[in-house]
Chains A and B, each alone.
Chain A
Amino acid sequence: MSGKLLEIKDLHVMYHTDLEDVYAVNGVDLELTTGETLGLVGETGAGKTTLALSILRLLPDRTGRITQGEISYNGRNLLELDKHTMAGIRGEEISMIFQDPMTALNPTQTVGQQIYEALMLHNGQHLSKKELWARVDSCLEMVGIPAARRKEYPHQFSGGMKQRVVIAIALCCEPSLLLADEPTTALDVTIQAQVLMMMKELRERLGTSMILITHDLGVVAQVCDHVGVMYAGEIIEYGSLEDVFENEKHHPYTTGLFGSIPKLDVETKRLSPIDGLMPDPTQKITGCSFASRCPHASDRCRREKPGLYREGNHQIKCFLYTGESGQEVSE
């Protein structure tokens, strides 16, 4: 396979408001190779969206701050780029699909104008207006919307159609990395499947890498090559689809996550949800962030942060596997 497209090292992000500090991302390491699709799963508030916004440096101006770490894209540290260079990367090389298509489009501009803007901002080939509009049309058709509807406003579209427009905006400049933040959560199931299929197709055709954020494990299984499980701002387990879905060894949280999904092929009396709630993100956690809910937790888990256990490409942050040393272990 080709080289690393994106490399995140020890990323820490916090939100600072008048009332409290929220530690949203606490030391995330992540790698993405060209053409790969990575699924990020985890419950609400695990820091998935924050992670994606950090990559684009779109955290809320005053409150969100990247306190530590490095995000390198094609070898360039995104966190060190100036505003103009960063704006050039947004949309052109890295683009993002947002969670809620209902509010993601500007209500006072036609959908055509909104796609046109993205093309116009990254018009490296110096296309004429006419050519750009032709591109708008083909983008709309690419996502299955008749080109004639480009003159319509977002309120004239249904939720699924709006999400298609959002996807068209994100993909019109053929970015090399797509961050999809729960692109199907707000849609109903049949539309979900359509949108997912379409994204998969487009991605394959354009050769785009993707980070897919979701809490729907079914979607991950359909689309992703690799999976990262996030909990309280950390990636606690990472591996290929098979590693995470089928391998014997799992982080207790992952086990719990899968335990709370009904299975058709296994007879279970009742679902086994994970007890308790995610730790308060306003507090810094000293030990393992999952310790308070973990059935295997020991005193040590509450005191120290576990290192990484590696088995091939499969990584788990848990003392169950790291053994006595507690340091990074590879097998």
Chain B
Amino acid sequence: MAKVRAAAGAEKGVSQNLEIMRRFRKNRSAMIGLSIFLLICLLAVLADVIVPYSEAITQVKGARLLPPSAEHLFGTDNLGRDMFARVIHGARYSIAFALAVSACSLVISVALGGIAGYYGGATDNVVMRALDVIMCIPGDLLALCIVAAFGTNLGNLLIALIVGQVPATVRIVRATIMGVSSADYIEAAQCHGAGDARIIARYIVPNAMGPVIVNATVNASRIIISVSSLSFLGLGIQPPAPEWGNLLAGAREFMRICPWLVYFPGLALVITSLSINMVGDGLRDALDPKIRD
């Protein structure tokens, strides 16, 4: 009896998702976060329309280290480049990396974690031990090693960040999938003759997706921070590209006399990752409302 009812509950996936959406929409901070994030995405997409890229890299001799003004909203840097243009164009790198790395590591993690979690046994052991090893090396350091060994270009940076993200994500995917696949409703579905494919598509994926998506969201904000950290160390995106970490690294020397050089890129970073975190929190609460009451 209980199992049949549980299976019925799992079949209700659609209405459950609607319920989650409803809870998410009711969460004010999550909605604020989402709007800020979408706004930043819009700025990144429309960066060229707002200020041409040339302004972000053109060096104007007479306009070095100018404080914020109507002409230069965020001031100018030590080479006379407009900080506003640089910060806006910097959003492109952060957003693009956050999305690309999250997406790629999500795909890889779901594949690996799914294999490990669904098959278990020896496969599981091999995958998990290998990841244990990687988990043991401090993440930023691993990324640094990869970038150092293979050279600092965008592709390698992408790989380095993905390698840093995958192990932890695989663990979560695997744990979730193992939890879901041992649930009673899976057994119930098997009892009334559902095949592997149907079980994976109709039961495991919809039920395991929640925690995995929440995790991916939280990771996205961490990726933004990682990209800028690596760039700050000079091993990420290379100057003169206006990445936020680069801007901060360049501004370090002048931070005492021109603090705006560190305020604006830093705030851009914080706001972006904050907005993503707010969305992630909202998703988590929507998926698991029991803590809120």
Residues of A within 8 A of B (CB): 17-19, 60, 62-63
Contact = CB atoms under 8 A, between A and B. Distances in A.
Interface string B277-293: 00000000000010011
Nearest to B22: A19
Given A18-B26, A18-B293, 8 more contacts: A17-B293, A18-B289, A18-B292, A19-B23, A19-B289, A60-B293, A62-B293, A63-B293
A62 B26 CA distance: 20
Which 6 A-B residue pairs are closest in the complex by CB-CB distance? A17-B293, A63-B293, A18-B292, A18-B293, A62-B293, A60-B293
A62 B290 CA distance: 13
A111 B202 CA distance: 44
A19 B286 CA distance: 12
Contacts of A62: 293
Nearest to A64: B293
Most chain A beta-carbon neighbours within 10 Å: one of B23, B26, B289, B293: B293
Contacts of B293: 17-18, 60, 62-63
Nearest to A61: B293
Contacts of A63: 293
Contacts of A19: 23, 289
Contacts of B23: 19
A19 B23 CA distance: 9
Contacts of B26: 18
A63 B293 CA distance: 7
A67 B26 CA distance: 27
Contacts of B289: 18-19
A19 B289 CA distance: 10
A25 B293 CA distance: 19
Majority SS of interface residues in chain B?
helix
A60 B292 CA distance: 12
B280 to A, nearest CB: 19
B291 to A, nearest CB: 12
Contacts of A18: 26, 289, 292-293
A281 to B, nearest CB: 15
B286 to A, nearest CB: 11
A99 to B, nearest CB: 16
Interface in B17-31: 23, 26
Nearest to B23: A19
A53 to B, nearest CB: 15
Interface string B135-155: 000000000000000000000
Contacts of A17: 293
B4 to A, nearest CB: 16
A20 to B, nearest CB: 11
A60 B293 CA distance: 9
A96 to B, nearest CB: 22
B6 to A, nearest CB: 15
B9 to A, nearest CB: 15
A290 to B, nearest CB: 23
A33 B154 CA distance: 80
A62 B293 CA distance: 7
B287 to A, nearest CB: 15
Contacts of A60: 293
Contacts of B292: 18
Interface string B21-58: 00100100000000000000000000000000000000
A17 B23 CA distance: 13
6 contacts: A18-B26, A18-B289, A18-B293, A19-B23, A62-B293, A63-B293
A315 B292 CA distance: 41
A195 B292 CA distance: 37
Interface string B259-293: 00000000000000000000000000000010011
Interface string B57-87: 0000000000000000000000000000000
Nearest to A60: B293
A17 B26 CA distance: 13
A19 B26 CA distance: 10
A38 to B, nearest CB: 29
A60 B23 CA distance: 22
Nearest to B26: A18
A19 B27 CA distance: 12
B8 to A, nearest CB: 14
B5 to A, nearest CB: 12
A18 B22 CA distance: 12
Nearest to B292: A18
Interface in B203-246: none
A63 B23 CA distance: 18
B21 to A, nearest CB: 14
A101 to B, nearest CB: 19
Nearest to A15: B293
Nearest to B19: A19
B141 to A, nearest CB: 36
A132 B23 CA distance: 50
A17 B289 CA distance: 11
A17 B290 CA distance: 10
Nearest to B27: A18
A302 B23 CA distance: 34
A63 B292 CA distance: 10
Most chain B beta-carbon neighbours within 10 Å: one of A17, A18, A62: A18
A13 to B, nearest CB: 15
A19 B292 CA distance: 11
A279 B113 CA distance: 43
A18 B289 CA distance: 10
A127 B262 CA distance: 67
A245 B62 CA distance: 99
